[in-house]
């Protein structure tokens, strides 16, 4: 397998853009990525799209075919992948494989999404399929995603003594990070008191401790070492790139699930934890080598719990790390210097590619207003409905 490099990245600002079709968001993100890489459409040899599940042209959600038909019909391969919120990571891994295999020298991965209002109010799954557990848990149980994150947060409070104020600190940190990020939707600072004064959604999680939904788009362009050498362009290496699915016996026991049995030795949120471990192995590094982690913070609980699951520090230590400022920009491990999902809002299929874009800009020293000092190694981690997980490591 050949080394693969990130040549450039681009993103449309996150927000609500009712006047812009999804295709336009995608094209603007791709144009920004091409400009960032210093190349033109004619040099792109393949396109992988993280297919939208909420809307898109031709009746099938965003497709790579739709994008190239709009701008550059040159017969390049167009590949479309799913995976809900992890679809962007799957798209990047697919693009990575196309380059690493030697088949192509320049391949782009793209995601774009326009989300409905609220906490994804439309149930996933099929109303016509009585065996669709995920549809049933939304409709019959009324258990949308915040209910599950709240259960995890309550369990953490019981096991590790996490306070409501510490959970509030996590949200305040994300907003503080986003203050200097022009792409973030929510950039105004918030205090712990603001968080705790916001409406309770699912005890103990308040409104400002749960990610909203947004419209957004992001693209990353990958290239071979030969291409980088010929072009003379500066690039950052994709040192590890992995996707995963759930493992039987996962104690997270989410619905839909592949089991309801908890087994010793099986990691919590195994689809993501497994992808993270695989990415570490591919990169030949460990948690101690990582300067920044861009991870899915669907809730304040994730900020505290996920780095522990990935082996950055011991279970329960996240509270102390946060309270001591060690998770801030300039701290021991910068968590979501972009501002994360809590500041951007979730634009499902585009989210993982935004994470990779942020890491690339951080390693190039171009994350103006929220730069992690002397960042050399950055990592992403994302979870998608249906037990999909992904992780990417970039190094310079």
| Boundaries of every domain in the chain | 4-117+215-237, 164-200+239-395
* Burial profile 243-274: b = 16 or more Cβ within 10 angstroms, e = fewer: bbbbbebbebebebebeeeeeeebbbbbbbbb
Arithmetic mean of pLDDT, 235-249: 89
The confidence score (pLDDT) of residue 122 equals 56
- Please indicate whether the domains covering 4-117+215-237 and 164-200+239-395 agree at the CATH topology level: yes
Task: Please compute Rg for the chain using Cα positions.
Answer: 20
- Considering only residues 266 and 345, tell me which one the structure prediction assigns the higher pLDDT: 345
pLDDT over 70, % of the chain: 88
- Cα dihedral 155→288→168→115 (10° resolution): -90
Is a pLDDT exceeding 60 seen at residue 254?
no
Beta bridge partners of 81: 50
Homologous superfamily (CATH) for 164-200+239-395: Thiolase/Chalcone synthase (3.40.47.10)
Arithmetic mean of pLDDT, 64-76: 90
Query: Distance between alpha carbon 31 and the CA centroid of its chain, in Å?
Result: 21
Distance between CA atoms of residues 322 and 320, nearest Å:
5
Q: What is the CATH number of domain 4-117+215-237?
A: 3.40.47.10
Confidence of residue 60 (pLDDT cuts 50, 70, 90): low
pLDDT digits (tens, 9 = 90+) for 120-171: 655 566 666 767 666 766 676 667 789 889 999 999 999 999 999 999 999 9
The confidence score (pLDDT) of residue 53 equals 62
Confidence of residue 283 (pLDDT cuts 50, 70, 90): very high
Arithmetic mean of pLDDT, 23-52: 95
């Amino acid at each position: 397998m050949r080394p693969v490099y990130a040549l450039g990245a681009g993103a449309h600002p996150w927000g609500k853009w009712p006047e812009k079709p999804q295709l336009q968001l995608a094209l603007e993100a791709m144009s920004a990525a091409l400009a960032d890489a210093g190349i033109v459409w004619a040099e792109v040899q393949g396109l992988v799209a993280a297919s939208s599940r909420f809307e898109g042209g031709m009746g099938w959600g965003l497709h790579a075919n739709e994008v190239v038909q709009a701008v550059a019909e040159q017969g390049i391969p167009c590949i479309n992948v799913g995976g809900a919120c992890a679809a962007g990571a799957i798209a990047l891994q697919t693009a990575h494989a196309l380059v690493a295999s030697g088949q192509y020298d320049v391949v782009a991965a793209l995601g774009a999404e326009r989300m409905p209002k609220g906490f994804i109010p439309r149930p996933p799954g099929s109303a016509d399929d009585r065996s669709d557990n995920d549809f049933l848990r939304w409709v019959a149980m009324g258990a949308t995603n915040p209910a599950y994150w709240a259960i995890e947060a309550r369990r953490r409070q019981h096991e590790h003594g996490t306070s409501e104020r510490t959970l509030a600190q996590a949200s305040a940190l994300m907003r503080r990070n986003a203050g200097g990020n022009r792409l973030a939707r929510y950039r105004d600072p918030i205090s712990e008191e603001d968080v705790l004064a916001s409406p309770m959604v699912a005890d103990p999680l308040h409104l400002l401790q749960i990610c909203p939904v947004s419209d957004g788009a992001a693209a990353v362009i990958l290239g071979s070492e030969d291409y980088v050498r010929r072009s003379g362009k500066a690039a950052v290496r994709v040192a590890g790139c992995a996707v995963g699915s759930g493992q039987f016996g996962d104690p997270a026991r989410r619905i839909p699930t592949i089991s309801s049995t908890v087994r010793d030795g099986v990691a919590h949120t195994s689809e993501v934890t497994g992808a993270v471990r695989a990415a570490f192995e591919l990169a030949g590094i460990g948690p101690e080598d990582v300067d920044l982690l861009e991870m899915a913070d669907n809730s304040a609980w994730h900020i505290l719990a996920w780095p522990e699951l990935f082996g950055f520090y011991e279970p329960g230590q996240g509270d102390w790390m946060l309270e001591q400022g060690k998770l801030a920009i300039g701290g021991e491990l910068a968590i979501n210097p972009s501002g994360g999902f809590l500041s951007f809002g979730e634009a499902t299929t585009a989210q993982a590619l935004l994470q990779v874009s942020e890491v690339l800009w951080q390693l190039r020293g171009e994350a103006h207003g929220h730069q992690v000092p002397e960042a050399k190694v950055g990592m992403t981690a994302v979870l998608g409905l249906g037990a999909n997980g992904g992780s990417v490591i970039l190094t310079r």
